[in-house]
């Protein structure tokens, strides 16, 4: 090499450098990016939840049927996004406010009100509290919703956001759109204790959509009918003035499933096995148990049918068009009780 001309030595050195750069490049694109281990002990490695999910390690997961179901939903969502969304856009911090981050276990959860989000927040508080909490049900429901108890993705820098979106297990739980809507109406407009909602939304709904309202109704807003609620939702003025409240906002607008690749799409209708699958994927099944529901009056399809019985076909069709994307993206069929023709 010493006897070679200077130009030859430079050429050979350049070739060697290029070779090593290529080796490093191909190593980087073939190796999965490891999850950030903010809360794990140095030197201790654990299997990434994404590896468990996508490598098909059914022996470790012990839920092959559940895994196939979760993977099937992911494929349906991908196909629906390709078919029904035309433009992609850049996510803003405002878009990420519903994505809760657990750095300790490498989890991102997009919470959807009226889809067991209180219990999921409780579970994440247990997981990220470093021992402060141990039982999800011991956490009061109102405390689970206090801003600041859990970190959201919007609080991080752009670099930190991208790192987490690439390497964390991202999951979402969805529900049949009209059953979720009826559940939101029942909770926010038929419960006497929800005076804040009555004042904030009830008075406006009654003022706009009730003929000759009584002064007491205009003042309290505590007797909104389901028909009036539907009229409010489909009224073009409603969304022109401000975004929907999160309790009746469409899931695709809250969680952006065609812009964010959710690894797990759980469903309210199969809540317990889906929740168990998520906890197993995260490697925390022994640390926390997802609370089982004890509600006997949970909103289901039969109850939703009773609420829609007195809604005219005109408003049913308008409402279905409003929530159509949620039906399509999450593979929910049009309810049999709808009269949209």
User: For residue range 187-238, what is the model confidence (pLDDT) as tens digits?
Assistant: 999 999 999 999 999 999 999 999 999 999 999 999 999 999 999 999 999 9
Q: What does the pLDDT look like over 60-99, one tens digit per residue?
A: 445 456 667 788 899 999 999 999 887 778 889 899 999 9
Residue showing tokens 């929800």: 194
Buried b / exposed e over 133-143, threshold 16 CB at 10 Å, is: beebeebeeee
Distance CA 115, CA 111 (A): 8
pTM of the full structure? 0.82
Instruction: Give pLDDT, residue 48.
Output: 54
CB-neighbour burial class of residue 40 (10 A; exposed 0-12, middle 13-18, buried 19+):
middle
Q: Return the pLDDT at 52.
A: 52
- pLDDT value at position 6? 59
| pLDDT lower than 50: segments of the chain | 1-2, 16, 18-47, 56-61, 63
Torsions phi, psi for 151 (to 5 deg): -85, 140
Q: Give the sign of the dihedral formed by CA 55, CA 62, CA 274, CA 329.
A: positive
Q: pLDDT value at position 57?
A: 47
SS3 per residue for the chain: CCCCCHHHHHHHHHHHHHHHHHHHHHHHHHCCCCCCCCCCCCCCCCCCHHHHHHCCCHHHHCCHHHHHHHHHHHHHHHHHHHHHCCCCCCCCHHHHCCEEEECCCCEEEECCCCCCHHHHHHHHHHHHCCCCCCCHHHCCHHHHCCCCCCEEHHHCCHHHHHHHHHHCEEEEEECCHHHHHHHHHHHHHCCCCCHHHHHHHHHHHHHHHCCCCCHHHHHHCCCCCHHHHHHHHHCHHHHHHCCCCCCCCCHHHHHCCCCCCCCEEEEHHHHHHHHHHHHHHCCCCCCCCCCCCCCCCCCCHHHHHHHHCCCCHHHHHHHHHHCHHHHHHCCCCCCCCCCCC
End-to-end alpha-carbon separation of the chain, Å?
85
% of the chain residues with pLDDT over 90: 70
User: According to the model, what pLDDT value does residue 251 have?
Assistant: 98
- pLDDT for 80 equals 95
Strand partners, 172: 110, 265
CA nearest neighbour of 327 among 77, 111, 68, 70: 77
Q: Collect all residues with Cβ–Cβ distance below 8 Å to 197 and sequence separation of at least 6.
A: 188, 189
């Amino acid at each position: 090499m010493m006897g070679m001309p200077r130009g030859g030595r430079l050429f050979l050195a350049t070739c060697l450098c290029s070779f090593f750069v290529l080796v490093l490049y191909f190593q980087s694109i073939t190796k999965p990016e490891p999850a950030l281990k903010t809360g794990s002990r140095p030197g201790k490695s654990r299997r990434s939840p994404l590896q468990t999910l996508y490598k098909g390690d059914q022996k470790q997961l012990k839920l092959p049927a559940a895994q196939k179901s979760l993977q099937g939903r992911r494929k349906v969502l991908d196909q629906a996004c390709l078919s029904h969304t035309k433009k992609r856009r850049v996510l803003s911090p405002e878009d990420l406010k519903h994505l809760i981050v657990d750095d300790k276990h490498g989890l991102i959860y997009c919470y959807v009100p009226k889809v067991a989000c209180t219990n999921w927040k409780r579970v994440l508080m247990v997981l990220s509290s470093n021992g402060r909490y141990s039982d999800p049900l011991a956490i009061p429901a109102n405390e689970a919703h206090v801003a600041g108890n859990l970190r959201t993705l919007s609080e991080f820098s752009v670099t930190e956001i991208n790192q987490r979106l690439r390497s964390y297990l991202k999951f979402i739980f969805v529900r049949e759109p009209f059953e979720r809507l009826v559940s939101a109406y029942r909770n926010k407009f038929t419960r006497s204790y929800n005076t804040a909602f009555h004042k904030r939304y009830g008075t406006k709904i009654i003022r706009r959509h009730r003929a000759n309202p009584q002064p007491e109704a205009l003042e309290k807003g505590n007797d909104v009918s389901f028909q009036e609620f539907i009229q409010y939702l489909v009224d073009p003025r409603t969304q022109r003035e401000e975004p929907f409240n999160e309790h009746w906002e469409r899931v695709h607008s809250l969680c952006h499933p065609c812009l964010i690749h959710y690894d797990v799409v759980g469903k309210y209708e199969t809540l317990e096995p889906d929740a168990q699958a998520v906890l197993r994927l995260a490697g925390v099944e022994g640390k926390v148990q997802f609370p089982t529901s004890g509600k006997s009056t949970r909103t289901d399809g039969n109850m939703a049918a009773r609420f829609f019985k007195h809604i005219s076909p005109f408003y049913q069709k308008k409402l279905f068009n409003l929530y159509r994307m949620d039906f399509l993206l999450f593979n929910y069929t049009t309810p049999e009780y709808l009269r949209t023709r």
